[in-house]
Amino acid sequence: MENRFGVKDLFMFGLMVVLIVMVGLSMRQFDRQWQDVQEIKKQNSQLTSEVATIRSQIESGAVTVGGGNAAGPRALPAREMPVFAGLVGAEQKPDFSRGDWLIDNFGTKVGRLTPLVSSDLYQQWIESRVCECLATRDPDKLDFVPLLAESWEIKDYSDKFEAYAAPLRKRGLSPEQFTEEIKKDPKAPLALEIVFKIRRGVTFSDGTPLTAEDVKFTFDWIMNPDVNAARARAYMTNFKEAVVDNSHQVTFRFTEPTFNTFETIGTQVILSKKFYSRFTPQQYNDKVGLLIGTGPYRLSDPENWGPGRGVELVRNERYWGIKPTFDRLIWRELEDESAEIVTFGNGEMDIFACQPEQYEKLLKDERIVKMSQHLQYPSPLNGYTYIGWNQKRKDTAGVERPTPFADKRVRQAMTLLIDRERIAKEVYLGYATVASGPFDPASPQTDPAVKPWPYDEAKAKALLAQAGFADKNGDGVIDGPDGKPFRFKLSYPSGSATYQRVVFFLKDSFAKAGVTMEPEPLDWPVLIDRLKKSQFDSCSLGWGGVVESDPYQIFHSSQIAGEGDNRTAYANKDLDAQIELARRTVDDAKRMELWHAVHRTLHDDQPYTFLFNRPSLVFINGRVKNVGVTKLGLNYLRLYPNPSPWYVPRAAQRYTK
C-alpha cells in the first residue's frame, strides 16, 4: 500500500527519459557525421580516378597544351559560346560577384526527380539545372545554339523519301498507320539524318567524361519499352537508330521527316551511361531520386533523394562551362499563399510568381515594392485559354448527336458575342491579351495578319439567324431550328475564383443576346472524364505552350476517336492536309508559311473561341541583380538549361559566410 510513486522515483524517471533522449540525439548526430564521411569518401575516390585518367592521358601524349586534341577545327571556347553570352556580360559589371543562394518555391510537393519518368513541370526546373542537352534555344533569337554539341549537320532526304512515299500517301492512311507502313518496309529510304559532334572535355558531376556512348545510351533508354517514358517516346515515332561514329560523334537516323525532330533530339537531356545503366528499367521507373548530369549544379547525393525534404542543388565544381553565379539553388515547398507572401516579404524566398490580384495587391504594399523588383512578361510557355465548342455530344447511353456548334456560323457567333477585351481589362486587370489562335503571338508560327474576332452582337445575331437560330416567338430568347430555346452548358474546372468570374461574365454576355448558358463547375478528374466520354456542350480550359507547338493532337480529325485530344470532335479535311504537310516539312521558312495557313483556317473555323494569352507576373528579391526579360520569359529560364546571368553583389549577399 505504501509502495507509492514518490519524488525520488519521479527524479529517477526523469533522469531515464533525459538519458534516452540524449542517446537518441547522439545517434542522430552520429548518423549525420557518417553521411558526411561517406560523401567525402566518394568524392575522394572520384578524384583519384580522375587524377589517374589525367596521368594516363599525359603519358600517352593525348593531351597537349591548350586541350586542342580534337581532329579538325577546334571547338569554340565556352567564353565565346552564345549560350554563355549573358553570363559573360554579367561578369563585366562592376558589382559582379559570385556566391549567395537563390531560393525559389514550388508551391507543391515534388515527388520525383528521375528524368523521363517524371511528368511534372517542377521536376523539369531542377533537371534543367542539373542536366544539359546537345542544343538549346537562344532566348532572344529563338534559334538553336550548341550546348553539349560542338556542331551538327542536318541531312534532309525529304525529296527522295516523298518520291518513294507518294503512292502510300494516296491510300488515305492516318498518320499513325502511315508510320507503321513505313517501319514495316525494309526498302524505305532514310528520310532524315542528323550528325552531332559532341564537345570534348565535358564530364558528368561524378567525374566520368561525356562521350558519344552516353548520347546513344540516352536514346536507346528512351526507346526501351520497359522504361516508363511514353511521353518522350511519343515524339520519337520516326526514330530509327543512333549510331556512334567515334568517341565524340553520333549520327541519328529517322524513317520519316518530322518538323520537330531536331528539337526533340537536341533538347533531350543526356543521361550518364555509367550511372543509369546500373539499374534495370523496373528499378529506374520506381526510384524517385536518380538525377545526375553535366550541368552547373548537382544534387549532393544523386541516388537517394527522397520527397518531403525540398530540393537543394550545390555547385558542380567539375562544370566544363562558365562557373555559375550562385553557390546553391534551393526550392522550398510552401503551399499556402499567405505564408508565401510573408516569406517573400521577409526576404527568405527570392522569386514569387503571382496571380493578377496578388500582383496588384503587392504593388500597393510599399514595403514589398521597396525590397523587390517586379516584372510582367509574356512567355510562349504560358499557352492560352479557350472555350471549346463540342460538335458531337454523346448522351449517357453513348449515342452521338450533333450539337448546334457543328455549324461554323454558330461558333463564329459565339466568339462575336464575347467581349474579350473587357474581360481582359476587368477580370484579369489588364494582365491578359486576346488570343487569335493556338500559336504564341511571339512565335514565328503565328500569322501576324490574323486579328482576333471583335465583339459584335449585331453581326453575331445575323450569323445565328442564317444558321436558323432566331427569336421566333418574340420572348427575347433565341430559339433553335427546332423551336426550342437555345441553351447550353459550359463545363470548367472548379476552385478558381478568377475562372468563376470569367464564366459569370460569359453568362451575362450570352444572356444579353438571348442565349442561355449554364455554368457547370466540375472537379478536375470528373471534368477529364466528361471530356473523354464527350459528355459536355462546351468547356473552358487552357493549353500549355512551347515555342513551336504542334496542332496535330488537338485539331487533326484523326484525334477525335480513341484517346486523342480533339475532344470537341472538330473535323476539317483541308486543315488535316495543311497540318500533315507542315509536320513533314523540315525547312523552317517553308514550314512557317504552312503554319500561317493553319492559323488562318482555325481562325475562320473557330473550333475554339481562343480567349487569352496571359503574361507571367513575378516579384523578385531586390538583392538579385541583372534580372531581365527574354523572348522565352525571364532571363533565368526555369525550363531550359541556359545559364542564368543573375547575381548578387558581394555586399548584399545573404547566405555567404
Cβ-based nearer residue to other proteins, 301 or 421 = 301
Give ∠ CA 210-216-219 in degrees, rounded to 5.
Answer: 120
Q: How far is the CB of 611 from other proteins (least distance, A)?
A: 19
Q: C-alpha cell of 102?
A: 537563390
Instruction: Characterise 510 by phi-psi region: left (phi > 0), alpha (psi -120 to 50), beta (else).
Output: alpha
Which letter does DSSP use for residue 328 in this model? Answer: E
Is 559 an interacting residue with respect to other proteins (CB under 8 A)? yes
Q: How far is the CB of 338 from other proteins (least distance, A)?
A: 5
Instruction: State which of positions 151-190 bind other proteins (CB under 8 A).
Output: 176
Q: Which of 347, 480, 519, 542 binds other proteins (CB under 8 A)?
A: 347
Q: Which of 137, 197, 332, 393 binds other proteins (CB under 8 A)?
A: 332
Alpha carbon 414 to its chain centroid, in Å, reads 31
Cβ-based nearer residue to other proteins, 169 or 231 = 231
Q: How many CA atoms lie within 13 A of 379 on its CB side?
A: 22
Beta bridge partners of 312: 330
Q: How far is the CB of 520 from other proteins (least distance, A)?
A: 15
The C-alpha atoms of residue 72 and residue 107 are separated, in whole angstroms, by 49
The C-alpha atoms of residue 295 and residue 257 are separated, in whole angstroms, by 31
Q: Which of 231, 278, 425, 590 binds other proteins (CB under 8 A)?
A: 231
Tell me which residue of 501, 499, 532, 538 sits closest to 518, measured CA to CA.
Answer: 538
Instruction: State which of positions 505-524 bind other proteins (CB under 8 A).
Output: 524
Stretch that binds other proteins, among 191-199, 560-568, 602-610, 638-646 (CB under 8 A): 560-568
Instruction: State which of positions 410-429 bind other proteins (CB under 8 A).
Output: none
Is 398 an interacting residue with respect to other proteins (CB under 8 A)? no
Task: Report the relative pairing of strands 297-299 and 311-315 from DSSP bridges.
Answer: antiparallel
| Residues 373, 378, 380, 385, Cα dihedral to 10° | 120
Q: Which of 81, 83, 90, 103 binds other proteins (CB under 8 A)?
A: 103
Tell me which residue of 123, 102, 140 sits closest to 620, measured CA to CA.
Answer: 102
Is 362 an interacting residue with respect to other proteins (CB under 8 A)? no
Stretch that binds other proteins, among 241-249, 345-353, 441-449, 588-596 (CB under 8 A): 345-353
Residue indicated by cell numbers 531515464: 16
The C-alpha atoms of residue 569 and residue 389 are separated, in whole angstroms, by 9
Cβ-based nearer residue to other proteins, 66 or 525 = 525
Q: Which of 245, 336, 395, 508 binds other proteins (CB under 8 A)?
A: 336
**For the CA atoms of the chain, what is the radius of gyration?**
29
Q: How far from 196 is each of 212, 271, 410, CA to CA, in Å? A: 9, 16, 51
Instruction: State which of positions 115-134 bind other proteins (CB under 8 A).
Output: 119-120
Is 41 an interacting residue with respect to other proteins (CB under 8 A)? no
Is 260 an interacting residue with respect to other proteins (CB under 8 A)? no
Cβ-based nearer residue to other proteins, 29 or 57 = 29
| Residue 609 near residue 414, CB atoms below 8 Å | yes
Instruction: Characterise 485 by phi-psi region: left (phi > 0), alpha (psi -120 to 50), beta (else).
Output: beta
Q: How far is the CB of 119 from other proteins (least distance, A)?
A: 5
Stretch that binds other proteins, among 26-34, 81-89, 158-166, 451-459 (CB under 8 A): 26-34
The C-alpha atoms of residue 368 and residue 501 are separated, in whole angstroms, by 28
Is 564 an interacting residue with respect to other proteins (CB under 8 A)? yes
Q: How far is the CB of 524 from other proteins (least distance, A)?
A: 8
The C-alpha atoms of residue 218 and residue 196 are separated, in whole angstroms, by 14
Q: Which of 312, 357, 421, 605 binds other proteins (CB under 8 A)?
A: 312
Stretch that binds other proteins, among 77-85, 145-153, 344-352, 639-647 (CB under 8 A): 344-352
Q: How far is the CB of 188 from other proteins (least distance, A)?
A: 19
Is 562 an interacting residue with respect to other proteins (CB under 8 A)? yes
| Residue 330 near residue 102, CB atoms below 8 Å | yes
Q: Which of 128, 208, 228, 415 binds other proteins (CB under 8 A)?
A: 228
The C-alpha atoms of residue 1 and residue 469 are separated, in whole angstroms, by 95
| Strands of 172-310, DSSP E | 192-198, 239-246, 249-254, 297-299
Is 234 an interacting residue with respect to other proteins (CB under 8 A)? yes
Instruction: State which of positions 638-657 bind other proteins (CB under 8 A).
Output: 655
Cβ-based nearer residue to other proteins, 184 or 367 = 367
Is 99 an interacting residue with respect to other proteins (CB under 8 A)? no
Tell me which residue of 491, 506, 489, 501 sits closest to 419, measured CA to CA.
Answer: 506
Q: How many CA atoms lie within 13 A of 374 on its CB side?
A: 23
Is 28 an interacting residue with respect to other proteins (CB under 8 A)? yes
Stretch that binds other proteins, among 265-273, 407-415, 432-440, 562-570 (CB under 8 A): 562-570
Q: How far is the CB of 394 from other proteins (least distance, A)?
A: 15
Q: How far is the CB of 565 from other proteins (least distance, A)?
A: 8
Stretch that binds other proteins, among 56-64, 302-310, 445-453, 482-490 (CB under 8 A): 302-310
Q: How far is the CB of 553 from other proteins (least distance, A)?
A: 7
Is 526 an interacting residue with respect to other proteins (CB under 8 A)? yes
Is 2 an interacting residue with respect to other proteins (CB under 8 A)? no
Beta bridge partners of 59: none
Q: Which of 307, 485, 519, 649 binds other proteins (CB under 8 A)?
A: 307
Q: How far is the CB of 350 from other proteins (least distance, A)?
A: 11
Q: Measured between alpha carbons, how far apart are the two ends of the chain, in Å?
A: 63
Q: How far is the CB of 222 from other proteins (least distance, A)?
A: 12
Tell me which residue of 347, 282, 381, 308 sits closest to 634, measured CA to CA.
Answer: 381
Q: How far from 636 is each of 45, 125, 340, 346, 558, CA to CA, in Å? A: 34, 11, 20, 22, 39
Cβ-based nearer residue to other proteins, 203 or 549 = 549
Is 449 an interacting residue with respect to other proteins (CB under 8 A)? no
Which letter does DSSP use for residue 120 in this model? Answer: -
Is 111 an interacting residue with respect to other proteins (CB under 8 A)? yes
Tell me which residue of 647, 515, 583 sits closest to 261, measured CA to CA.
Answer: 583
Amino acid (1-letter code) at residue 612? F
Is 536 an interacting residue with respect to other proteins (CB under 8 A)? no
Task: Report the relative pairing of strands 328-332 and 101-105 from DSSP bridges.
Answer: parallel
Q: Which of 101, 284, 389, 610 binds other proteins (CB under 8 A)?
A: 101
Q: Is 492 helix (H, G, I), strand (E, B) or coil?
A: strand
Is 32 an interacting residue with respect to other proteins (CB under 8 A)? yes
Transcribe 568-616 into DSSP letters. T----HHHHHHHHHHHT---HHHHHHHHHHHHHHHHHH-SEEE-EE--E
The residues that touch other proteins, with contacts defined as CB under 8 A, are 25, 28-29, 32, 101, 103, 109, 111-112, 119-120, 176, 228, 230-231, 233-235, 237, 285-286, 288, 306-308, 310, 312, 330, 332-336, 338-339, 342-343, 345-348, 367, 524-526, 528-529, 532, 544, 553, 559, 562-564, 655
